[in-house]
Amino acid sequence: MRAEYFSTLFLVVISLLVCVGARRLNIGSFGSPGPGFFPFVLGLATGALSLVILFKQLFQKREAASGQQCNLWTVGGRRVICVLVALVGYGLLLQRIGYVFTTCLVFGFLLRAVEPQKWTTVVIGSIIVAGVSYILFALLLGISLPQSRFGI
């Protein structure tokens, strides 16, 4: 088997483990979700998508190999590394500078680094995403988010 099969199978196994762990946290119901509801749904979605990819890989006819070496940079590795850096940075900055500022910075970084956009698009897009997500999570759903020193 090829490496892509193993990586997809790995995601399926991780998804199953997430679902099992979420069931131990009490899933609750759709109307009254428990602490394990969101991880369970994410585990199901990840597992289902991984299975779709796996079946696509198994039943897809392979074209003849072109003989070119495929390395991380030829398959979009720079983008993957940018996303990983953004996720680590998000985790490190969230408690220090608050949800809104961290979300704005990380989303702006992603808009500029992964698929470069104009600066006006980056600034306006990151402000809109941070603001709308804050309104959704903090105000409408009542979830307490890390705040900055300015109270946001």
The token pair that represents 18 in the structure block: 């997430």
What letter does residue 74 receive in the DSSP assignment? G
For the cut 90, the answer to whether the pLDDT of residue 25 exceeds it is no
d(CA 34, CA 19) in angstroms, rounded, equals 13
Give the per-residue pLDDT at 62: 53
DSSP 33: B
- pLDDT recorded at residue 61: 53
pLDDT of residue 147: 82
Maximum mean pLDDT: which of 5-14, 47-56, 103-112: 103-112
- Tell whether the model's pLDDT for residue 32 goes beyond 50: yes
Give the pLDDT band of residue 118 (cuts 50, 70, 90).
very high
Contact residues for 58 (Cβ-Cβ < 8 A; gap 6+): 5
Residues in the chain: 152
Predicted local confidence at residue 124, as pLDDT: 95
Q: Quick one: the chain helix, strand, coil %, rounded to 5? A: 70, 0, 30
Whole-number pLDDT of residue 65: 47
Q: What is the mean pLDDT of residues 55-71?
A: 59
pLDDT value at residue 76:
65
Q: pTM for the whole thing?
A: 0.54
d(CA 86, CA 120): 20
Q: Chain-wide mean pLDDT for the chain? A: 82
Inform me whether the pLDDT recorded for 123 exceeds 90: yes
- Say if residues 12 and 58 touch (Cβ distance below 8 Å): no
